[in-house]
Each structure stands twice: as C-alpha cells, then as structure tokens.
Chains A and B, each alone.
Chain A
Amino acid sequence: MDTRTVLTIAGMAAVTYLIRSLPQLVLGDRRIPTGLDRYLRYLAHALIAAVIAVSLFLARGRIETEAAPARAAALAAAIVVAAWSGRPVLGMVAGAAVVAAFAA
C-alpha cells in the first residue's frame, strides 16, 4: 500500500470519526440548532454537486472536451432514470451504459 494514500485515508478516518463521536460527548442530550442543521445540508449538497462536475469534466486542471459529450449524455441519463425509478444505483448503471455505448 502506498504510504501517502494510507496516511490520507487515516486523516479522512480521523475527521469522520470526530464528526460522528463529538456530538455524543459534547452535546449530550441537546440538539444541534436548526439553522446549523440546514447549513450543513446545503454544504453537503453543494460539495457533492461540485465533485460531480469536477470528476466528470476535469482532468489535471483541464476540461476533457473530447469525452464531455458522452459524459454529459450519461449524466442526463443517470438523472432521468434516478428520478423515474427513485433508485440511485439504477441511475448510475444507466449512465455507465450510455458511456459504454459511446465508447463502443
């Protein structure tokens, strides 16, 4: 295993565990304020959407123009199938099938 990767995973594990466990220690029976709850949800949604854009269309700081049409079509297919079926895995598979069809 690559040491750098393992150390990064250890860092990811540490922050995730802190997030999960701190409320059990610090907050006790008190609830997180509603405003903070909503802010954290907005942040998570914004971040995940940004990750989608970057991982689909960007490689080493440049937009991958050649692969972009196939990936955009796959993204549209994934969104439509997920909205129709209500199942994220089905949407994901539909999008991957579109990419495979473009590559064939």
Chain B
Amino acid sequence: MASVPPTPSARAPFRTGAAAAVPIWLAFVPTSFALGLAARAYGLGLGEVLLMSAFVYAGPAQFAALEPLASAKPAAQVILTTLLINLRFAVMSAAIAPYFRGVGRTRRLLAAHVLSASSFVLPFAHFQRQGALPAEGGARADEGRRNLDYYLGIGLTSFVVWVVGSGAGYLAALTVPAAFGEALRFLLPGYFASLLTIELRRGPAMGVAAASFLAALPAAHLWGDWGWLGSAVAIGTAALLAERWIRARS
C-alpha cells in the first residue's frame, strides 16, 4: 500500500485538514445557526445551548433533545435517545481507528470528541485515497500522527464553527418576532426530515424511516414517551431481521 508523501512540517497536516474542512464549515454554519434558533424557540438558555454544543456536539441528538429538555421529560429518556441516535459514531470511530495506529492513547481519546459524520467522512475518504494505513508494530507511527493531525484539522475547526454557530443562532433568535415562533419550532423536524430524505433516497432504509414515522404517534398515544422510543427500536430491529431473512432466501 502506498504511503503518504512526507510533509514539510509537523503542522502541515493540520493546516491541510483545516483547508479541506471549509465545505463542512459552510454546511455547519446554517445548521448550527438553526439549532440555536430552535433552542431559543423551545425556551433553553444560551449557556445550555453552548454547553450542549460543546460537550455533546452531535446535531441530530441535540435537535432531538430540545423538546424533551424544554418540557422537562425524564433525563433517562433523553439520554437513552441520545445514546441510540449517536451509536453510529461507534462505527465511524472503529473504522477510522486503524489510521491512527502508533498514536498515544491520550491523544486518540481527546481527538475522539470531535468526531462527527462530516469530520469522519472527509478524512476517512482522504486516508483511503492516499493508502495511508500505517504499518503494524509502530514502525510507521509518524504516519499515524500525521493522519491524526489531518483529522484534527478537520474535526477541531468544524467543532469551533458548530459551537460558535449555535450561540450566534441563539442570539439572532432574540430579534425574531414572536409570530415566527411556530416557524422556528418547525426547524427541528424540518431539518431531520430533509436530512433523512437526502440520506435515504435509495434503499430500504427509507421504508424503515416511514414505518417508524407512522408507528410513533399511536405508540406514543398508547404508551407515552417510551412508546415511540420502543416502536423505533422494534422497527429498526425488525428491519435487520427482515434483511437477513431475505438474504438467506435469495
């Protein structure tokens, strides 16, 4: 496998990563701004929004937490929902880990916090294009460190944009007339629906999302907040079992 070309200085990979992250920043600005606007509409404080953006740093989970936080739903429900929505990070973290081979555990653990869907896809695709998988045994630990610096150039700068953007959105919402409150509250489901539409235009996952959407209201009506959570988990599980059954028959 080809190695990454030598870089002129230790900082170069970080700067290269930061330059590559510009499209992510452009995508993060309106989304984080919308999060700040929506958080304001749900009655959260600026400190709470910034705290969530800085320490949770996960758009869909943050959007999903706004309504339950505003209506003082049980913490266990909010945390479980966050856990389930963010489980995808485990897959991303596991996929990118081999590219940081040779890097100390502390740096890897600190760097893990700025992992997002965007800050995973960009460096992962870059490493694959470059054939940048360091050799086993620590013989090429420098490559692992360069990869981590490149990843941090993307992840750290995108993280800052996200936190600042959500704060700016919140402050901007203070100037929005009350008549637009209903429109602001649509930002959360509107963002999710748009995201799912784009992500799932092809494939069976669109059917999973549609089934979960339709089942959520009756489940919530019958069993309260745990009802829609349970129905979503049941439908996700059923989808996987159905997929396996279809594969076994074909």
Q: Could you say which of A37, A49, A103 contacts B91, with CB atoms under 8 Å apart?
A: A37
* Beta-carbon contacts under 8 Å, A60-87 to B: 60-61, 63, 67, 70-71, 74-75, 78-79, 81-83, 86-87
CB of B48 within 8 A of CB of A51, answer: no
CB of B220 within 8 A of CB of A58, answer: yes
List of B residues within 8 angstroms of A45 by Cβ? 196, 199-200, 205, 208-209, 212, 236
* Beta-carbon contacts under 8 Å, B26-71 to A: 27, 30-31, 34, 44-45, 47-48, 51-52, 55-58, 60-61, 63-65, 67, 69, 71
> Does B164 interact with chain A (Cβ within 8 Å)?
no
Closest 8 CB pairs of A and B: A91-B194, A82-B194, A13-B55, A95-B190, A88-B194, A23-B94, A53-B216, A43-B236
* Beta-carbon contacts under 8 Å, A15-65 to B: 15-17, 19-25, 27-32, 35-58, 60-61, 63
Number of interface residues of B (CB under 8 A): 99
CB of B232 within 8 A of CB of A12, answer: no
List of B residues within 8 angstroms of A104 by Cβ? 179
Partner-contacting stretch, out of B3-11, B124-132, B223-231 = B223-231
Q: Which residues of A contact B (CB under 8 A)?
A: 1-2, 4-13, 15-17, 19-25, 27-32, 35-58, 60-61, 63, 67, 70-71, 74-75, 78-79, 81-83, 86-97, 99-100, 103-104
Shortest beta-carbon distance, A80 to chain B, in Å?
9
CB of A55 within 8 A of CB of B67, answer: yes
CB of B240 within 8 A of CB of A95, answer: no
* Beta-carbon contacts under 8 Å, B172-218 to A: 179-180, 182-201, 205, 208-217
CB of B109 within 8 A of CB of A48, answer: no
B219 to A, closest residue via Cβ: A50
Please, could you name 14 A-B residue pairs with CB atoms under 8 Å apart, sorted by A?
Answer: A11-B82, A21-B113, A24-B108, A43-B237, A45-B208, A46-B211, A46-B232, A46-B235, A54-B216, A54-B228, A78-B197, A88-B194, A92-B191, A99-B185
A100 to B, closest residue via Cβ: B183
List of B residues within 8 angstroms of A6 by Cβ? 48, 51
CB of A1 within 8 A of CB of B47, answer: yes
Q: How far is the CA of A100 from the CA of B67 in the complex (A)?
A: 20
List of A residues within 8 angstroms of B18 by Cβ? none
List of B residues within 8 angstroms of A91 by Cβ? 190-191, 193-194, 197-198
CB of A16 within 8 A of CB of B58, answer: yes
